[in-house]
Amino acid sequence: MSTVIAISGKGGTGKTTFAALVIGYLLEEGMVPVLAVDADSNSNLDMALGVDLGSTVGAVREEMSEKVRKRQLPAGMAKQDLLQMQIEQALVETKDFDLVSMGRAEGPGCYCAINNMLRVFLDSLAENYRFVVVDNEAGMEHLSRRTARGVDVMFVVSDPSRRGLETAARIRALARELKLEIRKIFLVVSRVREPVGGDLERSIESTGMDLAGVIPEDEQVSRLDVAGKPLTELPPDSTAVEAVRNIMENVLQEVKS
């Protein structure tokens, strides 16, 4: 059975960077295969992982909706079979992990039937992997639409700002309000420039969330971002890599217990 890790947080907090580093940790530890799901409509997890993205689930959904509307489905092929074939073509496959990108949000039409078929297929797909890591949309939209269900661990990523930490607390509160199936929720504070203490420590405590750890500001991450290079090129002694390694070791141990 797959372990599902969801990553949330407001934009600009290092959410996708954290998702890529979590995947990197799982690959390094041989916890494969891994399915990476880019559920952010502003897709860039593929760039962070150093793979080329072809199609997206959003594009497949739009194409499928158009074919249904114009009655252009291939003769003798059920809608479910065609949708599955197109999703499989959108799946980016590598030696140890695969990536599927959800792509853009829905258009103005009705997608209920197609979305139901997508949900069934994606749930079935996820069962083929030891870990599923989902990089969610910035903010709380994915939670309000109830697309974050059946999650073992949700990391809510924040920067050290008071506003970011307040947003993180609201995301946790909304998840509880919607009664989403999330076993554990942890706070991760990224881009930290100084030891945790004083105002930052008080702000973290005020969220009422379990702190999984902090990720220091890492110049090596910034250099790769500027150069347009994947985070897979970070060396093992990168401070961000080491921080995520510590976070994952502690959290996975707690989840198992």
The pLDDT tens digits of the residues spanning 47-106 come to 999 999 877 877 777 766 666 666 666 655 566 666 677 777 778 999 999 998 877 655
pLDDT tens readout for residues 188-207: 999 998 888 888 999 999 99
End-to-end CA distance of the chain: 16
Contact in structure between 169 and 210 (CB atoms under 8 Å): no
State how beta strands 97-101 and 92-93 pair. antiparallel
- The CATH number assigned to the domain holding 248 equals 3.40.50.300
Q: According to the model, what pLDDT value does residue 144 have?
A: 60
**pLDDT tens digits for 149-192?**
578 999 999 999 999 999 999 999 998 888 888 999 999 999 99
Strand 3-8 relative to strand 131-135, pairing: parallel
Q: Count structural domains, the chain.
A: 1
Rounded Cα distance between 126 and 39, Å, is 14
User: To 5 degrees, how large is the angle CA 133–CA 235–CA 47?
Assistant: 45
Q: How many helices (H) and strands (E) does the chain have?
A: 10, 8
Domain residues for 86?
3-256
pTM score of the predicted model: 0.87
